[in-house]
Every structure is written in structure tokens, then in C-alpha cells.
Amino acid sequence: MKTIFVTGTAGAGKSLLTSKLYEYYTKNGTFAAVLNLDPGVRDLPYTCDIDVRDYVDIIDIMQQYNLGPNGAVVMANDLIASKIDEIQEQIGKVNPDYLIVDTPGQIELFAYRSSGRFITENILSEEKMNIFLFDGALITTPVNFVSIALLATSIRLRLNLPTINIITKTDLIGSKLRYSRMVRQSEIIRKCHCQRGRWRDIQFNYQYSERSESWGVCSRINSSL
């Protein structure tokens, strides 16, 4: 079994990509299954083979421990880690060729808590990798792009998984994502801030956006995939 974790900021399109990956593998005769790790999600664009909502209930946690929504989600993610043996047993019963793992919408709850790393390490698999989604709507300026790129790097280090970075929603943002426009915007920012003593920071952003294509930092994927 090979495992694909799908991560990214809230609203980047993790669940949609999960559903499309599942459809792709199924159409090509490969046995794929989906594990939902988001305990707070209500509706999903796919049918879960393994669902953590079968093990933890956000509403029950809020009532039992007198917590708000955010506190309940934090506790739920930690409780999921304590159920890893049961989850792994269910995965074993399904026994897919590819397991696609849809991670929580709030990436910090998964990547920056010890429970997230624990889950990635304890799902038994021949190979594991991570897909990090760059939300196209958020990276239309060099500063935002660099910020998300640094977040992706941080999460790669936290999860310790080989990672592919993908830009989503390119069909929705159109020319805003064009490389030439990003360079023009960064040049404008550079000129504006040169007189404010921030040249070194802006120069970094400018060079990063200028070279990102040759570095292969990201690939693109349309939301209509």
C-alpha cells in the first residue's frame, strides 16, 4: 500500500483534490481508498472508506468538556491519535493499493501538533508522500507566494515526508498567476520600499518569485481537474 497525504491551508481544495485523485485511480483500475482525518467537516465530495468521525464527535466533545469549536477540534485531533490502532486495523481490512488521506482544514492542528506527526508515522505503508496545496487565490503577489512557500517548507519538515507542491485554482485566478505579472508586481514593490530601508527583504521576495519557476517549487492544477 502507498499513502498520499493531502495538506494545505483552509479552503485550498484538499477535499476536492482527494476526490479527484480517487476518481483517477478508480478509472484506471487501481484500488484506492480515502481516509478522512478532519473531525469537524460536515460534507465531503467523496465517500469515506475510513472516517475519523466514526471515532470522535465534535459536538460530544464540546458538551462533555465545555469547550468551544476550536478547543474541541484540537482535542478531537489528539483523540484521533489515541485511536490509531483501530484506524490502522480498519485500513488493513480495506487494504487498498493507494490510501489517500484528506487532512484537517486547519493545517496547524495537524502539522504543528505532535498528534499529526504521530499519525503520519504510525499509518503502516510501503511508501508515503505529501501533496501540499498552494491556494491560487492567496498567492497572487510575491509576498504571499513566499509566505505560503515557507509554510510548505515548514510542514514538510514537521511531517518528514517527501512533498510535491501544487498550485490550485489556476483556472479561477487567470492572469493574476502569470509569471510575468508576478515579476512586474515584485518590481513595483521593490521600488516602493527601497527608500524605506527594507531593500534586503524585498530583494529576497523579488528573487524568489523570479526564480521559482526554474526551481520547480510548484506545479499547477486546475480546480476543474
CATH of the domain at 22: 3.40.50.300
Cα(225)–Cα(218) distance, rounded to whole angstroms? 17
| Structure-block grid coordinates of residue 87 | 484506524
Q: Is residue 17 part of a domain?
A: yes
Domain count, the chain: 1
Q: Say what the pLDDT of residue 133 is.
A: 94
Q: In a structure prediction context, what are the per-residue pLDDT tens digits for the chain, which is 225 residues long?
A: 999 999 999 889 999 999 999 999 999 999 999 999 998 888 899 999 999 999 998 889 998 889 888 888 889 888 999 999 999 999 999 999 999 999 998 888 888 888 889 999 999 999 999 999 999 888 878 888 889 999 999 999 999 999 999 988 887 776 665 554 554 545 545 555 554 544 444 444 445 445 554 544 554 444 444
* Type and span of the H or E element at 7: strand 2-8
Q: For residue 37, is it within any domain?
A: yes
Q: Could you tell me the three cell numbers for 30? A: 487501481
The residue segments making up the domain with residue 97 are 2-171+215-220
Cα(106)–Cα(117) distance, integer angstroms: 15
Considering the domain boundaries, does residue 201 fall inside one?
A: no
Contact (Cβ atoms closer than 8 angstroms) between residue 129 and residue 5: yes
Q: Which residue has the cell 482535542?
A: 75
**What pLDDT was estimated at residue 205?**
47
59 domain residue, yes or no:
yes
**Res 225: pLDDT:** 42
Q: Is residue 36 part of a domain?
A: yes
